[in-house]
């Protein structure tokens, strides 16, 4: 499913080793109260969200498109959004929804987290899709995005007839995962040794 997605290099030799060790990662998980139950409910979320990815992306892209200060990060030097850039990133974003729910959070996962971090930062933004867009996304928007990415997923989690308690558990697991991921993605923005 994934190899056909342009620029999606998960688990390949093109992805460098994460500077965050598995030991540090373990402690980070403990810091958000991560448990085996969260893994179990993310798997459930993966089943629930599997056929809703396009609807979720329509909502998120609509949110970005309706805010000039956000769509700005997809624009070229003429100030217009680069359609090809938006659509290529969209495919990887869809895969990321599934990866968040289905992949084991192991060394490959940790490595790709750093890759995603660099793709939002000036180290690698625009390179994967060969575009000339804005050089980086400010950290403040990365962090603030945790809220919409978490709040808006709930209605999709609730669409397959699960109990309120199950929906809540899936939602909490999703929230923890997004906090963990955006925490890892803050790495390139921090001064050496401060992460």
Rounded Cα distance between 108 and 114, Å, is 10
Question: In this structure, how many other beta carbons lie within 10 angstroms of the beta carbon of residue 177?
Answer: 21
Binding ligand HEM by CB under 6 A: which of 44, 82, 101, 116? 116
Residue of 56, 117, 119, 157 interacting with ligand HEM (CB under 6 A): 119
111 is a contact residue toward ligand HEM (CB under 6 A): no
User: What span, in angstroms and rounded, lies between the C-alpha atoms of 177 and 185?
Assistant: 12
User: Does 176 interact with ligand HEM (rule: CB under 6 A)?
Assistant: no
Residue of 10, 5, 30, 167 whose CA lies nearest to 99: 10
What residues does 49 pair with on adjacent strands? Answer: none
Among 182, 184, 188, 189, binds ligand HEM (CB under 6 A): 182
Residues 41-100 binding ligand HEM (CB under 6 A) are 64, 70, 73-74, 89, 92-93, 96
- What HEC string does 131-177 produce? CCCCCCCCHHHHHHCHHHHHHCCHHHHHHHCCCHHHHHHHHHHHHHH
Window 7-36: residues binding ligand HEM (CB under 6 A): 7-8
Cβ proximity to ligand HEM, 91 vs 166, nearer residue: 91
| Chain positions contacting ligand HEM, by CB under 6 A | 7-8, 64, 70, 73-74, 89, 92-93, 96, 116, 119-120, 125-126, 128-129, 137, 141-142, 145-146, 149, 178, 182
């Amino acid at each position: 499913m994934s190899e056909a997605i342009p620029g999606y290099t998960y688990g390949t030799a093109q992805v460098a080793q994460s500077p965050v060790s598995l030991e540090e990662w373990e402690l980070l998980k403990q810091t958000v109260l991560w448990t085996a139950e969260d893994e179990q409910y993310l798997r459930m979320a993966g089943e629930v969200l599997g056929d809703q990815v396009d609807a979720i992306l329509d909502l998120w892209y609509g949110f970005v498109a309706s805010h000039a200060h956000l769509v700005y990060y997809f624009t070229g030097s003429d100030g217009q959004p680069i359609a090809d850039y938006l659509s290529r990133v969209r495919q990887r974003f869809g895969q990321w929804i599934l990866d968040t729910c289905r992949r084991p959070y192991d060394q490959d996962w940790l490595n790709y987290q750093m890759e995603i971090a660099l793709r939002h930062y000036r180290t690698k933004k625009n390179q994967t899709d060969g575009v000339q867009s804005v050089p980086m996304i400010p950290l403040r928007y990365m962090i603030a995005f945790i809220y919409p990415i978490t709040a808006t997923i709930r209605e999709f989690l609730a669409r397959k007839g699960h109990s309120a308690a199950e929906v809540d558990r899936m939602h909490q697991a999703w929230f923890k995962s997004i906090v963990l991921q955006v925490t890892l993605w803050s790495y390139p923005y921090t001064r050496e040794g401060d992460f």
